[in-house]
Structure 1
């Protein structure tokens, strides 16, 4: 089985990564960390840059786990990419990070976390960053 972590370069992404490593070690499962972005012309604050991708890969290498990092920029939104991964892999749990947002922020921008909670076919563990 595989543990899938939806990673963003923010404190909630770091919390999800830490929890994913902890659970994968405890269960002896494969860990896949994914950062997904539609790409295109405008900058996406959820997309990792080269330095952050290297840092995450180094963390995974030093974890002692069978782990990999995937950065997907294929024109699809993050929810669709993660749903596809859940369906194509044997995912035991999807780990996502949550951040506090205002009601207006949720209304205008939507919520990737909410969409994932409602749409994926595997258990979802939502974690918060330390305050």
Structure 2
């Protein structure tokens, strides 16, 4: 069993990571941190290096907090929703945690496509969190 979190280095990503870390500790289970990138022209070597550095920092923080974890950086052309759902299935995920952006009143009519797909297609419960004002 494990808690899966979709992580990108944004306010929302950090909020999701914080919530996932708390859930993993509460459930006494492993935390699987997933950073999913589509790759291609928009994802160059410099950007890949920045993400790797950020994920190393996440690993250090989780090590220091004593949270059993695994960090996966996936760049294989999939949508993040596909990767998170697949990792949850492979890792016997008991919870997926995702961060949601604040939206305008019009934007609230449409949930982000990745978030919507995860909520609808995940084989386990999904916790969607928003970043606080101080995050």
2:96 equivalent in structure 1 = 94
| Aligned-residue CA RMSD (Å) | 2.6
Label 1:126 to 1:110 Cα distance change in 2 as closer, same or farther (>3 A).
closer
Give the C-alpha shift of residue 51 in structure 1: 2.3
Counterparts of 2:126 and 2:85, CA distance in 1: 12
Residue aligning to 2:125: 123
* Structure 2 residue runs without a partner (length 5+): none
Length, aligned pairs only: 130
Match of 1:21 in 2: 21
TM-score under structure 2 length normalisation: 0.84
Summarize the Cα distance change of 1:14–1:39 in structure 2 as closer, same or farther, 3 Å threshold. Answer: same
Give the helix-richer structure, 1 or 2: 2
Q: Where do 1:1-131 residues align within 5 Å?
A: 1-43=1-43, 49-102=51-104, 110-131=112-133
C-alpha separation between the residues in 1 aligned to 2:110 and 2:16?
Answer: 24
Aligned 8 A contact 1:16 1:95 in 2: yes
Residue 119 to residue 64, structure 1, CA distance change in 2 (3 Å): same
Distance 1:103 1:37, change over 3 A: farther
SS of equivalent residue, structure 2 residue 42: coil
Normalising by structure 1, we get a TM-score of 0.87
| Contact 1:21 1:63 (8 Å CA) reproduced | no
Structure 1 106/18 Cα, relative in aligned 2: closer, same or farther at 3 Å?
same
Counterpart Cα distance in 1 of 2:29 and 2:52: 27
